[in-house]
Amino acid sequence: MKTNIFKLALIAMITILASCSNDDEMNNELTGTNDLVIEFDNGVNGDDLILGASSYINSNGESLKIDRFNYVVSNFVLIDAEGNEYVYPKNESYFVISEEAGETEVILKDIPARKYTAIKFGIGVDQKKYQQGAEGQGDFLSIAEAHNMMWSWQAGYKFLNFEGQFTSASVTEATNFKVHMGSHGSSLDNYKEVNLDLNTQALVSSELSPIVHLMVDANKVLDGQHKIKLSEKAVVMVDEVKSPQVAENLTGMFLVDHVHNGDASGH
């Protein structure tokens, strides 16, 4: 009996040592830099988002056909298993996600090799960036203009451009709606930050280039923490009450679906 117990203990010890060795080998393999890709899979309350075609009914009793769903994401930060943060270079960290243009992917380049367990990013353009003036925006200013994400330089960026048609119990004919949200001077700063834990470590190395798949629920724009009825106001732009509510709703749009750890040649 003692011999069997000794054998079992020996096997357990060998297994633990082998596991530690494998972890060490994995850590040793994570060297160099590579891309980390974030895919934004836009949907509506669990369904695919099909612009201009499908109707979606929210809990406000409104039926929406969505023609445009564009938003700005920015200031990406990657957090590794030890809690260390890698801040992506600020001047390269502004992107427009546009369903109509088919631009739903962010590629973060030259990321240091690590095991990443969480990400942070902003929705919109922070005041510090905007206050650098038009000359300080780099290429992003023209990108935003090309995707209808500017009112004007003086008025600022649109963080969200959400448009389409709706009907409701009180609005029976199809009516256009527009929800444009951004910051309006220093008095109404609607820039928000999103923090997401990854359900699988994103492994970056010279050989590994992971893809983080995010599910994005456009239904949350109006039907999130705050319930915003288009039947009460179909055009929401510079609104001291509803604009901050939309901004808060957007923070609840994002959910990590899965992480794919692929090789550098084709993810």
Please give the residue that has the higher pLDDT: either 188 or 254.
Answer: 254
Encoding tokens for residue 133? 């003036």
> Which element (helix H / strand E) includes 176?
strand 175-181
Q: Beta strand 63-80 with 85-87: parallel, antiparallel or unpaired?
A: antiparallel
**Chain segment 22-78, per-residue pLDDT in tens:** 344 344 578 999 999 999 999 999 999 999 988 999 999 999 999 999 999 999 999
Cβ atoms within 10 A of the Cβ of 65, count? 17
Secondary structure letter of residue 45 according to DSSP: T
Write down the pLDDT at residue 5.
47
Helices (H), the chain: 2-29, 127-130, 140-146, 242-250
pTM higher than the cut 0.75: yes
Give the residues across from 85 on adjacent strands.
Answer: 79
User: What is the distance between the alpha carbons of residues 252 and 68, in angstroms, rounded to a whole number?
Assistant: 19
User: What is the distance between the alpha carbons of residues 225 and 182, in angstroms, rounded to a whole number?
Assistant: 18
Q: Let me know: does 178 contact 234? Beta carbons within 8 Å.
A: yes
Q: Beta strand 235-236 with 175-181: parallel, antiparallel or unpaired?
A: parallel
Encoding tokens for residue 49? 């988002």
**Chain segment 130-171, per-residue pLDDT in tens:** 999 999 999 999 999 999 999 988 889 999 999 999 999 999
Cβ atoms within 10 A of the Cβ of 202, count? 25
> Which is it for the CA torsion 44, 243, 143, 195, positive or negative?
negative
**Chain segment 200-227, per-residue pLDDT in tens:** 999 999 999 999 999 999 999 999 999 9
Q: Beta strand 33-44 with 105-112: parallel, antiparallel or unpaired?
A: antiparallel
Which residue do the tokens 């990406």 mark? 76
Please determine, for residue 198, whether its predicted confidence score (pLDDT) is greater than 70. Answer: yes
Please determine, for residue 266, whether its predicted confidence score (pLDDT) is greater than 90. Answer: no
pLDDT band for position 21 (cuts 50, 70, 90)? very low
Cβ atoms within 10 A of the Cβ of 123, count? 22
Please determine, for residue 17, whether its predicted confidence score (pLDDT) is greater than 60. Answer: no
